[in-house]
Amino acid sequence: MNTKYSPLFESFTLKSGVSLKNRIVMAPMTHWSSHEDGTVSDAEIKYYARRSKGVGMVITACVYVTPNGKGFSGEFAADTDEMIPSLRRLAATIQDQGAKAILQIYHGGRSCPPEEVPNGEIVSASAIAEDREGAKVPRALTDAEIEGIIRDYAEATRRAIEAGYDGVEIHGANGYLLQQFFSPSSNHREDRWGGSLEKRLAFPIAVAEAVKEAASHAKHPFVVGYRFSPEEPGDDGITMEDSYRLVEALIDRGMDYLHVSLQDFWSLPRRGANESRTRMEWFHTRYGSQMTFIGVGGLHTADDVLKAHASGIPLIALGRELIIDPDWVEKVEQGRAEEIQTTLTPLDQDRLVIPDHLWERIMAMKGWFPVVESE
């Protein structure tokens, strides 16, 4: 290995005591490939096995914690105890390759396709549709339903423990239910779950507390992380200043890490912080001494990742790049960083062990992945 990359291969111990063998994380990536009943498919098992050998930690694609939270076709489930054997199979696959296995737990809220949820009824903080053509107006959750979903997150955490995972990541990013409660653009409630910033924080923080309490019953060190999007577009959404308040509340609840969901690791703030630093640099400057951050977004080469890590962020996640090159970590470790692939060709599916439904979307969604014609 080129010694300049050695910082990426230093071990790292999270607050809970779980130790990672290096600083590279596999980011959660939706793959639309589970069975209709919510169990993990053979195609997914092969996909994760192919990508779990080099990284220190794998964060799975999201699992829904309750039936009306299913946000995608082909999403796997953690909503009943019957799912535990399926969940266990995936955890063991990841761990057998030497990585820690983190289950991402989730509720899609108003982003759920009506055809994927019971009775076609989507729910959210308020009866406000997503800002996209054809979006359906959700029903505002009742107080009792909110309390029930909080319990569902705790139960999904219990199932993750029983299935042998090393931890869970609460998915509070990308416009899904927890963010819908946090955002002033989607939460117009006037009860204890909305109104002021503190009340908009109440639901995501209650989920974090319930998950932490459930995690405390694990018989081994168990990670609890939280993923969030630091800002929203427009003039009425979440700002960096809002996200600072979220981060402070999550620090107080003892999260192991916070995973900042960005398309571009180096992106600058829009509102609530000046442009003298990137978003990631602001979080690290303000809170890096109190909280472990995971950075992600548009990083491909070994030098890309080294530069991101050198900015002070201890853990760096790769998503699309590990789909493109599952051997990324091993190539850097073996002194072959120049062999890292950063593009796909239409002939690469079988070689890269990519499930059919994910491959179909990669090919269909122009610009999502860098696809070039085969030689």
Alpha carbons 250 and 287: distance in angstroms, whole number: 11
What pLDDT does residue 91 have?
A: 98
Q: Which DSSP helix (H) or strand (E) runs through 216? A: none
Is there a catalytic annotation at residue 176?
A: yes
Q: Which DSSP helix (H) or strand (E) runs through 74? A: none
Strands (E), the chain: 12-13, 19-20, 24-26, 57-64, 100-106, 123-124, 139-140, 167-172, 223-228, 257-260, 292-295, 315-318
Span between the terminal Cα atoms of the chain, in Å: 29
Alpha carbons 191 and 179: distance in angstroms, whole number: 17
What pLDDT does residue 375 have?
A: 60
- Residue found by looking up tokens 């409660």 in the block: 181
Does this model's pTM top 0.85?
yes
- The domain covering 3-340 belongs, at the CATH homologous superfamily level, to Aldolase class I (3.20.20.70)
User: Catalytic residue among 47, 106, 165, 176, which?
Assistant: 176
CA angle 217, 220, 223 (to 5 degrees): 80
Positive or negative torsion for Cα 91, 36, 122, 241: positive
The b/e string for 312-350 (b: 16+ C-beta within 10 A; e otherwise) is: ebbbbbbbbbbbbbbbbbebbbeeebeebbeebeeebbe
Burial (CB < 10 A; 0-12, 13-18, 19+), residue 113, is middle
Alpha carbons 339 and 363: distance in angstroms, whole number: 23
What pLDDT does residue 235 have?
A: 86
Retrieve residue 253's tokens: 């609840």
Alpha carbons 121 and 118: distance in angstroms, whole number: 6
Is-contact 323 30, C-beta < 8 A? Answer: no
Q: What is the pLDDT along the chain (375 residues), one digit of tens a residue?
A: 899 999 999 999 999 999 999 999 999 999 999 999 999 999 999 999 999 999 999 999 999 999 999 999 999 999 999 999 999 999 999 999 999 999 999 999 999 999 999 999 999 999 999 999 999 999 999 999 999 999 999 999 999 999 999 999 999 999 999 999 999 999 999 999 999 999 999 999 999 999 999 999 999 999 999 999 999 988 899 999 999 999 999 999 999 999 999 999 999 999 889 999 999 999 999 999 999 999 999 999 999 999 999 999 999 999 999 999 999 999 999 999 999 999 999 999 999 999 999 999 999 999 999 999 866
